[in-house]
A and B are shown apart, each in its own frame.
Chain A
Amino acid sequence: MRIACPFCGARDSGEFTYLGDASPKRPAAPLDGGAAVEEQFYDYVYLRDNVAGFTREYWYHGGGCRSWLIAERSTTTHEFKSVAAAPGAGAAKTAQAGER
C-alpha cells in the first residue's frame, strides 16, 4: 500500500500511522451535561460504522511531513480514492477537537 501524501508524493504506508474513521465528531456539549451528553460521548468514543467499502479516515505522515491527512480508502481493496490535508494540517497549533 502506497499513500499519495499531498505534500510528499506517493510514499510507503510504513511511514504513516493510522488513527481511524474520520466521521465521528466530538460532541460540542460539555462532558458534565447529563445523560443525553453521555450518550453522545459513548457514541463518539466507542461506536463505529466499520464500513466495508470506501471510508474517510485519518492518517498521520510521521515518517515524512508530519501532517495529518484525510484519505478516502476502500477497506475491501485498499485502493485510495483521494488523500488531502486534514483541516488544520501544517499549522503549529493543536488541531481542533475531533480533528486530531
Chain B
Amino acid sequence: MKYSIFSLARAALSSHKNWGRAWRDPTPKKQYDVVIIGGGGHGLATAYFLAKEYGIRNVAVLEKGWIGSGNAGRNTTIIRSNYMLPGNTGFYEMSMKLWERMEQDLNYNTMVSQRGIINLYHSDAQRDAFARRGNTMRINGIDAELLDAVEIRKILPFLNYDNARFPIMGGLMQRRGGTARHDAVVWGYARAADQLGVDIIQNCEVTGFQRSNGRITGVETTRGTIGAGKVGMAVAGSTSRVAAMADLRLPIESQVLQAFVTEAIKPLIPGVVTFGAGHFYVSQSDKGGLVFGGDLDGYNSYAQRGNMPVMEDVCEGGMAIMPMIGRVRLLRQWGGIMDMSMDGTPIIDKTPVDGLYLNAGWCYGGFKATPASGLVFAHLLARDEPHEEAKRFRLDRFRRGAMIDEKGQGAQPNLH
C-alpha cells in the first residue's frame, strides 16, 4: 500500500484498524543470491538498494533479534556531513543528499529534520581549525558557515558564553545537518525493501558459515541452513564475532558508547549543539526530551551498558556550556556496542574469504551514513568492485598505510 493523504483518510474511516503489515514475515528460502547478516539500518538499506538500483531481488536480511534492535535503535539520530578528509567528505555528502530525498524515495515519513548542527569553538586555535574544516567542506560543495559568538547567541541564547575556562567564541555551522527518526529509517527501508521482494527474516541468528573450496556458499542459522551466492556482513558491534566464524581477524575493537535522554520540555534547542572543549553533544527530540551523549566508555565491551564515570563526564560537559541542563531530570540512559576501527573510519570491502563482504568499522558515526552505506555496499555486492565514493574504505588500507584518521589519534580505537 502506498502511504498518502488518501490512504490515511481511507484508514481513518475504519478507525485505523486495517492498515495491514508494513512488511511480510516470510519463512527463509533454501537459497538466495545475496544474504545480508544484520537487520539494522545499514543491512536493510543495502537490501533496498540491491533490489532498487542493481536489480538483485532474491535477497534475505537475517536479524538475530528484531530489526533495528541494535545500534539503529540506540543512536542519537544526528545526520551531518561536516567531514574534512578525502574519502569522508564525498561519502558523507552523498549520504546527506540521500537523506534529503529519503522520504520521497521510501514513501515513508522518516522525520528528516535539517535543523542545523553547530560545533562550538572555545579558543583562537580551535577557530582556525574549524575555519579550515569549513573551507574544506565548501571546496567539496558542502555547506558550512563560521559564526562568531554574537551570531551563535542569536540562535542559542541559553548557553553559558562566559565560562572562564572554555568561553564560547563561536561555532562552525552546517545548516543542512540535523536529525532523523532512527526507528522510522529502519522501518522505512524494511518496508521499501520488502515491497521489492526482499525477505526480512527476524529472530534468525547466524551461527556459522558454509564453505566449499574456500568460498562461502551459505550461512548456518538458528532457523536452518540458508544457501547464498554472496554474504554481506552489516553487524556493527558484533563484526569481530561474526568474522571469527569465517576465521578472520579484523582491525576492529568493540566498545560501549552511552546515550541519554531527559524528561520532555518545551521546545528549547533548535538544532544540534556540540561542545568543543570536552565531549558533549545535545539535540531535542520531537517529543521534547533532550538527547545527548559524549565519549566512549573507553574499554572493550559487548555488554550494551556503560559505567558511571562517563555519565559524570558527559553531564559535566553539558553543565559547562548549558548550566540550565542541570535542572532537568534524566529519564533514560543506555549503551550500544560500537565497531571501532583502528583509524575511526569505516571499512566497506570484500574480505579475503571469497563470497564474504564486509561493512563495518562505523565507530559511533554509523547512523548518518545509513543511506550511503547501503548504496555503496549494494554496489560492492552487485558489481564486485567498490563504489566511487567508497574506494578509500578498503580493508587493506592499514597494511598500505592509507588510513583515514579524521581525529589523528592513531591505532587506539578508544580515542577516536
CA of A73 to CA of B301 in the docked complex: distance in angstroms? 10
Chain A positions within 8 Å of B, measured between CB atoms, are 1, 12-14, 17-18, 20-21, 42-43, 45-52, 55, 57, 73, 75-78
7 CB contacts below 8 A, A to B, read A20-B413, A48-B240, A50-B241, A50-B253, A52-B302, A57-B299, A73-B299
Instruction: Report B395-413 residues with CB < 8 Å from chain A CB.
Output: 398-399, 411-413
Asked if B307 is at the interface of the complex by the 8 Å CB criterion, the answer is yes
CA of A49 to CA of B253 in the docked complex: distance in angstroms? 8
- Taking A20-B414, A21-B300, A78-B301 as contacts, is the C-beta distance between A50 and B309 under 8 angstroms? no
Q: Please determine whether A14 and B303 come into contact, CB atoms closer than 8 angstroms.
A: no
Across chains A and B, the number of contacting residue pairs, with CB separation under 8 Å, is: 72
Chain A residues with Cβ below 8 Å from B299 are 18, 57, 73
Q: Please determine whether A50 and B240 come into contact, CB atoms closer than 8 angstroms.
A: yes
- Taking A14-B312, A75-B302, A77-B303 as contacts, is the C-beta distance between A46 and B411 under 8 angstroms? yes
B303 is contacted by which of A12, A17, A78 (Cβ under 8 Å)?
A: A78
CB distance from A23 to the nearest CB of B (A): 12
Asked if B16 is at the interface of the complex by the 8 Å CB criterion, the answer is no
B307 is contacted by which of A1, A17, A43, A75 (Cβ under 8 Å)?
A: A1
Q: Please determine whether A20 and B300 come into contact, CB atoms closer than 8 angstroms.
A: yes
Known: A20-B300, A75-B301. 4 other contacts (CB 8 A): A14-B308, A18-B414, A42-B398, A78-B307
Asked if B249 is at the interface of the complex by the 8 Å CB criterion, the answer is yes
Q: Please determine whether A52 and B241 come into contact, CB atoms closer than 8 angstroms.
A: yes
- Taking A20-B412, A21-B300, A42-B399 as contacts, is the C-beta distance between A13 and B250 under 8 angstroms? no
Chain B residues with Cβ below 8 Å from A42 are 398-399
Chain B residues with Cβ below 8 Å from A12 are 308-309
Q: Please determine whether B300 and A75 come into contact, CB atoms closer than 8 angstroms.
A: yes
CA of A40 to CA of B399 in the docked complex: distance in angstroms? 11
CA of A20 to CA of B409 in the docked complex: distance in angstroms? 15
CA of A14 to CA of B307 in the docked complex: distance in angstroms? 9
Minimum-distance CB pairs A-B, first 6: A14-B309, A50-B240, A46-B251, A18-B299, A46-B398, A47-B249
CB distance from B168 to the nearest CB of A (A): 27
CA of A77 to CA of B412 in the docked complex: distance in angstroms? 23
Asked if B254 is at the interface of the complex by the 8 Å CB criterion, the answer is yes
A48 is contacted by which of B250, B308, B312, B399 (Cβ under 8 Å)?
A: B250
Instruction: Report B298-317 residues with CB < 8 Å from chain A CB.
Output: 298-303, 307-309, 312
B250 is contacted by which of A45, A47, A55, A57 (Cβ under 8 Å)?
A: A47
CA of A57 to CA of B57 in the docked complex: distance in angstroms? 45
Q: Please determine whether B302 and A20 come into contact, CB atoms closer than 8 angstroms.
A: no
CA of A17 to CA of B167 in the docked complex: distance in angstroms? 28
Chain B residues with Cβ below 8 Å from A47 are 249-251
CB distance from B349 to the nearest CB of A (A): 14
Asked if B390 is at the interface of the complex by the 8 Å CB criterion, the answer is no
CA of A55 to CA of B253 in the docked complex: distance in angstroms? 13
Q: Please determine whether A13 and B303 come into contact, CB atoms closer than 8 angstroms.
A: no
Q: Please determine whether A76 and B308 come into contact, CB atoms closer than 8 angstroms.
A: no
Chain A residues with Cβ below 8 Å from B244 are 49
CA of A51 to CA of B249 in the docked complex: distance in angstroms? 11
Chain A residues with Cβ below 8 Å from B414 are 18, 20
Q: Please determine whether A50 and B252 come into contact, CB atoms closer than 8 angstroms.
A: yes
CB distance from A29 to the nearest CB of B (A): 17
Chain A residues with Cβ below 8 Å from B412 are 20
Q: Please determine whether B303 and A76 come into contact, CB atoms closer than 8 angstroms.
A: yes
CB distance from A27 to the nearest CB of B (A): 15
B298 is contacted by which of A18, A49, A55, A77 (Cβ under 8 Å)?
A: A18
Asked if B342 is at the interface of the complex by the 8 Å CB criterion, the answer is yes
CB distance from A34 to the nearest CB of B (A): 14
A20 is contacted by which of B249, B253, B303, B312 (Cβ under 8 Å)?
A: B253
CA of A13 to CA of B240 in the docked complex: distance in angstroms? 25
Q: Please determine whether B252 and A48 come into contact, CB atoms closer than 8 angstroms.
A: yes
Nearest to A39 among chain B residues (CB) is B399
CA of A13 to CA of B241 in the docked complex: distance in angstroms? 26
CA of A47 to CA of B240 in the docked complex: distance in angstroms? 10
Which of A13, A55, A73, A76 has the most B CB atoms < 10 Å from its CB?
A13
CA of A38 to CA of B411 in the docked complex: distance in angstroms? 16
Nearest to B339 among chain A residues (CB) is A50
CA of A78 to CA of B312 in the docked complex: distance in angstroms? 19
Nearest to A53 among chain B residues (CB) is B302
CB distance from A71 to the nearest CB of B (A): 10
A45 is contacted by which of B298, B303, B411 (Cβ under 8 Å)?
A: B411
Chain A residues with Cβ below 8 Å from B240 are 48-50, 52
Q: Please determine whether B302 and A76 come into contact, CB atoms closer than 8 angstroms.
A: yes
